[in-house]
Structure 1
């Protein structure tokens, strides 16, 4: 019997790494989920409306106008010329390019009209205005 006990106390020649790999995979999946869950964009306070539209479409481009009049295309600051050129490139790749305009409620009306005029020049017909439903909070 004592010989059997001695045999059980022998050192291992190899290390079982399966539990360590399981932990690594769980951490990797958690990291991927957490990094893709954060939404990129520019925060603005949208005007309120009673209508509810679902504007989420693939390859939708977002034009954002902040309260101070700065214009962003997909969270990147642009001037009106850059906006026109970039949207023209997207339009050539996708003739039915959907665009959403997300303007702060305090944004200057002429800046909103400039963006709408640029979109009209490019013959982009699928455009939506992002609003906040009345009674909801946040921005």
Structure 2
């Protein structure tokens, strides 16, 4: 055997296998990141919701989120809406035909009358499907 042949036989052949372990590690990290951040993306307005033991409702289509923060500021989705133009915003929502379902999120520290005034405006606009959003925890103090 010539020296050239001996050195060629000692070289390793290229490995034809793919190492998927790093890819699986990256996918698991991404999965954990999405699992942690997904619940935080559902509501953009910070509201301290009351507790309730009711079951979640089934929904036919995407509801409209209306929020009242601690100061009583009104939001439609993530957009702040002035009380003076709230009726116009409701008219725009109902102009598409069938009135949408509304998810009303109100801070627990708000005056009950303020929440009922918003519900009355929704009713006058023809929106009768109103869901009150809570944290889902039972056993809160009943003061």
Same fold (TM over 0.5): yes
In the TM superposition, what is the alpha-carbon distance from 1:49 to its structure 2 partner? Answer: 3.6
TM-score (norm 2): 0.64
Paired residues in the alignment total: 133
Structure 2 residue corresponding to 1:92, chosen from 87, 91, 95: 95
Label 1:9 to 1:26 Cα distance change in 2 as closer, same or farther (>3 A): same
In the TM superposition, what is the alpha-carbon distance from 1:127 to its structure 2 partner? Answer: 0.7
Q: Contact 2:49 / 2:107 at 8 angstroms: preserved in 1? A: yes
Q: Which ranges in structure 1 are unaligned for 5 or more consecutive residues?
A: none
Secondary structure of 1:48's counterpart equals coil
Equivalent in the alignment of 1:79: 82
Q: Which ranges in structure 2 are unaligned for 5 or more consecutive residues?
A: none
Q: Contact 1:80 / 1:115 at 8 angstroms: preserved in 2? A: no
Equivalent in the alignment of 1:135: 139
Looking at CA atoms only, which structure, 1 or 2, has the larger radius of gyration? 2
Q: Contact 1:63 / 1:101 at 8 angstroms: preserved in 2? A: yes
Q: Segments of 4+ in structure 1 off by > 4 A?
A: 7-10, 29-32, 34-37
RMSD: 3.9
Label 1:134 to 1:95 Cα distance change in 2 as closer, same or farther (>3 A): same
Secondary structure of 2:103's counterpart equals strand
Q: Contact 2:72 / 2:110 at 8 angstroms: preserved in 1? A: yes
Structure 1 residue corresponding to 2:42, chosen from 35, 40, 43: 40
TM-score (norm 1): 0.66
